[in-house]
Amino acid sequence: MLSLFNSFGPFLRQYVIVIIANLSLFGSGLGFAWTSPVLVKLANQTHPVYERPITEAEGSWIVSVTFIGGFLSNFLAAYLVDKIGRKRTFLLAALPRIACYVVHYLATAAWMNYVGRFLGGFSDGLSFCVIPMYASEVASKEIRGALGTILQIFSSLGIVTMLSLGPFLEYRSLNAACAVLCAASSAPLLLLPDSPYFLNKQGKIAEALKVLTFLRGSESLAKKEMEEYQTESEQTTLTLKEVLTSKSHLKIIAIVVCIGAGAQLTGYNAVAFYLQTILVSTKTSVSSDTASVVIGVIQLVASFVTAVVIDKFGRKPILCSSLVGLSVGLAGLGTFFFETSSNTEIIGFWNYLPLVSILLAVFSFSLGLGSLMFPLMSELFDGKSRAIGMFFGLVSNIISIFAVTQTFASLTNAIGAGAVYSVYSVNSLLFCVFILYCVPETKGKTFAEIQRELGVGVANDESVRSKC
């Protein structure tokens, strides 16, 4: 199948392969934005989808049950990526993603949507573990950052599609369309080779060299990279116990856990999942349907911008800029709800502040944190510990997003929307400080160079010193 791409140069081959691998995340993007238009339909008092409109509690569970599925699938993903390989794992992930929309189509009560959302989350947990790993192992160090951001581009494309179609399609027509789109975007995955790192690890040296030569465009470059694989394979494969008793690996796990949790404690996904509900609650004259489409397009544009600048400016400057912009956007949203809580008439500047604030938050998140979080997690680990490390990062991410989305509605009712968004704004700034002082820059470095900077392999781990 590699012969299909022989007419391309080595960098272009890598782009094509990583783009195909990320096609399935288009379906994840559909799922991320699904609740925005669908919760409005399910809660409609005049034309309910079921016999009765869903309650606020049922809506909260429809949002958050996704992450229970994602949490459970992370345990399976950590096992499968090293047992059956990267390619077979993301092929496997396509099945529950398609099934989730079939269940939504057939749903006649809220509990059936719980099942559908669980299946979608299960698929996402597998995909977001394996695809960043696959992309980082396929990519040359010169373009690894740009290839890593393709994940966010396709996820954003799915979000834009859902926000564009969702408000205007009838409930069952929307879910039928999603099932077809997910099947179509998953089929090209069959064309891909497996990760050369995984092939080498399985003892398929000749096949690994063939794939790597194809990717790098030079057998000499491939053999040089294979030497790094060989050096690593001579070391004992790390078990969970060995990773957890190594000070240097524990340090990396701590960083990745903080990245996973910190990204969600900014509250961005609470805004994303309840987007149309929030826009309706502002009671401004701006159409929530139109605004949600504009927001989705802005997110997609930001993802493309990141892909262009990531390997020029590096990870940390972009992440810090992203978090500052996100903080300002959330602060603007908080200010709007504080100032208008006792005023039913919204005119002039206040009429547009929530939309401008959400646009800034969405653009900022997609520009940095949304695009770089998972690729950065993958870059921080060596091949022996990457599956285990990604597991910890994704579990912390999913637990945090479940907590944030599950408590968002009740917190808003308890302390007010203005206070909630203000807390998220402060969290974004605190996370920025963490990125600045505790996360290493990985731009232009091989995995071996990143590991040396983090202290992995230093005798007895005693010489490792960290600002954290």
Residue 217, domain member (yes or no): no
Of 199, 181, 125, 81, residue with least CA distance to 397? 125
CB distance 137 to 198 below 8 Å = yes
Token code pair at residue 403: 């907590």
395-398, Cβ contacts within 8 angstroms, sequence gap of 24 or more: 395/71, 395/74, 395/260, 396/256, 396/257, 396/258, 396/260, 396/261, 397/260, 397/261, 397/263, 397/264, 397/373, 398/67, 398/70, 398/71, 398/74, 398/125, 398/260
Residue 174, domain member (yes or no): yes
Task: Give how many domains the chain has, as a whole number.
Answer: 1
The confidence score (pLDDT) of residue 101 equals 95
pTM of the model: 0.72
Residue 467, domain member (yes or no): no
CB distance 341 to 421 below 8 Å = no
Residue 208, domain member (yes or no): no
Residue 209, domain member (yes or no): no
The residue with greater pLDDT, 288 or 241, is 241
The confidence score (pLDDT) of residue 293 equals 76
The confidence score (pLDDT) of residue 320 equals 92
Q: What is the pLDDT of residues 337-348, one digit of tens each?
A: 887 776 656 566
Residue 294 has pLDDT above 70, yes or no: yes
Of 100, 149, 126, residue with least CA distance to 310? 149
Confidence band, pLDDT 50/70/90 cuts, at residue 307: confident
Q: How high does pLDDT run on average in the chain?
A: 82
- Mean pLDDT to the nearest integer, 324-343: 84
Residue 341, domain member (yes or no): yes
Q: What is the pLDDT of residues 56-100, one digit of tens each?
A: 888 888 887 887 888 888 788 878 888 898 899 989 999 999 999
The confidence score (pLDDT) of residue 217 equals 85
Of 215, 200, 74, residue with least CA distance to 144? 215
CA 249, CA 422: separation in Å to the nearest integer?
35
Of 199, 200, 195, residue with least CA distance to 228? 200
- Mean pLDDT to the nearest integer, 117-139: 89
Domain hosting 432: range is: 7-192+235-461
Confidence band, pLDDT 50/70/90 cuts, at residue 285: low
The confidence score (pLDDT) of residue 7 equals 65
Residue 367, domain member (yes or no): yes
What CATH number is given to the structural domain containing 122?
1.20.1250.20
Coarse DSSP helix, strand, coil percentages of the chain, rounded to the nearest 5 percent: 80, 0, 20
Residue 449, domain member (yes or no): yes
The confidence score (pLDDT) of residue 1 equals 55
At 135, is the secondary structure helix, strand, or coil? helix
- Mean pLDDT to the nearest integer, 188-194: 89
